[in-house]
Amino acid sequence: MKFKVGDRVKFLNESGGGVVSKIVNPKMVNVMIEDGFEIPVLIAELLKIEIDAPVDSPVHMFREDFNTPVPVAATSAYESDDRNIRLAGNRAKGTVAEGIYFAFVPQEQKWLITGLIDIYLVNNTNVDILYSVFLEKEQGGFTGFDYGSAESNAMVLLESLEREKLNKWEKGVVQVLFHPESDSKLLAPGNSGFRIKLSRFYIESSYKDSAIINGKSVLISLIPLSSVSIIRESDDPLKGKEEVEQVTVAEVVEPENVIDKHRTSPREAIVDLHIGELVDNISGMDSAEMIRTQLNYFTRCLENGIANKIHKITFIHGVGAGVLKKAIQEVLKDYPNIQTRDASLKQFGYGAMDVIIHN
Domain ranges of the chain: 8-62, 81-252, 258-357
Distance of CA 291 to the CA centre of its chain: 22
Average pLDDT over residues 184-192: 84
In percent, how much of the chain has pLDDT > 90?
Answer: 31
Output phi, psi for 206, to 5 deg. -70, -25
For 8-62, CATH number out of 1.10.10, 3.40.50, 2.30.30, 2.40.128 equals 2.30.30
Which of 24-28, 30-34, 94-98, 146-150 comes out lowest in average pLDDT? 24-28
Sign of torsion over alpha carbons 208, 209, 210, 215: positive
Question: What's the pLDDT at 169?
Answer: 93
Second-level CATH architecture of 258-357: 2-Layer Sandwich (3.30)
Strand 268-272 versus strand 263-265 pairing type: antiparallel
Does CATH place domain 81-252 in 2.40.30.110? no
Question: What's the pLDDT at 135?
Answer: 94
Q: What pLDDT digit, counting tens, does each position of 288-297 carry?
A: 888 888 888 8
Which of 23-27, 79-83, 159-163 comes out lowest in average pLDDT? 79-83
Contact 269, 310 (CB under 8 A): yes
